[in-house]
A and B are shown apart, each in its own frame.
Chain A
């Protein structure tokens, strides 16, 4: 069964460093999302991406964040200069043209900023 994959599973970085979180969505999917969950809080939406551009972003998704689909298979989230409060589990999700609104999630990347 097709699945969304994410790498790495855990990333530790120092404050101020850049990180790139990688996702490989399901191959025929067209809509891509990033969500995150800070420990003890709700899963919250960051950004949606369709047709090679951002379709919506939340207030969290400021200038420090960017997304890219560089090669038609990977979908990346970059944080330019990480802060302690960026520590969270980051989930990628994708949605296909005939999935009736069911988003398929990856297993997440746990980002720890020290």
Chain B
């Protein structure tokens, strides 16, 4: 069973702070990594799908990096805003796991005004 770990489990920051969280996963048979943003009562929303070692993707103030050799990805939020408050989920995808996503436990971010 693929073991996916995210840290920290929760994070409380002030508006304007920059923050980052980590997703660790087994590097063998890696194919892609998904980052999702999930606000309560809404659909989990895909932020990034990353496939290449060294990949860096950016969407506004949010960016992510990927290291497939050592099996980790970082998600960065620059200048956090209250609307960034959500749970951030990562889900690596390996060749041997069919089409299903296997999620980490998520990082719950709370941004105080």
A interface vs B, CB < 8 Å? 3-4, 9, 31, 33, 35, 41-45, 48, 50, 55-56, 58, 91, 93, 95, 100-108
Q: Is the CB of B100 within 8 A of A107?
A: no
Q: Is the CB of B49 within 8 A of A43?
A: no
A-B contact count (CB 8 A): 60
| Smallest beta-carbon distance A65→chain B, Å | 15
Q: Is the CB of B100 within 8 A of A56?
A: yes
Given contact pairs A101-B32, A102-B49, A107-B43, A55 touches B99 in the complex (Cβ within 8 A): yes
Q: Is the CB of B34 within 8 A of A48?
A: no
B interface vs A, CB < 8 Å? 4, 31-32, 34, 36, 41-46, 49, 89, 93, 98-106
Q: Is the CB of B43 within 8 A of A108?
A: yes
Given contact pairs A56-B98, A100-B49, A106 touches B43 in the complex (Cβ within 8 A): yes
Given contact pairs A4-B43, A91-B44, A56 touches B103 in the complex (Cβ within 8 A): no
The chain B residue sitting closest to A92, CB to CB, is B43
| Smallest beta-carbon distance A45→chain B, Å | 4
Given contact pairs A4-B43, A56-B100, A102 touches B34 in the complex (Cβ within 8 A): yes
Q: Is the CB of B98 within 8 A of A55?
A: yes
Given contact pairs A3-B43, A42-B105, A106-B43, A101 touches B100 in the complex (Cβ within 8 A): no
| Smallest beta-carbon distance B25→chain A, Å | 13
Contact of A41 among B32, B41, B105 (CB under 8 A): B105
Given contact pairs A31-B99, A55-B99, A95-B99, A105 touches B93 in the complex (Cβ within 8 A): no
- Residues in B neighbouring A93, C-beta threshold 8 A: 101
Given contact pairs A41-B105, A43-B89, A48 touches B99 in the complex (Cβ within 8 A): yes
Q: Is the CB of B46 within 8 A of A104?
A: yes
Contact of B99 among A35, A56, A91 (CB under 8 A): A56
A101–B104 Cα distance when bound, in Å, is 18
| Smallest beta-carbon distance A35→chain B, Å | 8
Q: Is the CB of B46 within 8 A of A102?
A: yes
- Residues in B neighbouring A56, C-beta threshold 8 A: 98-100
The chain B residue sitting closest to A43, CB to CB, is B103
A3–B34 Cα distance when bound, in Å, is 18
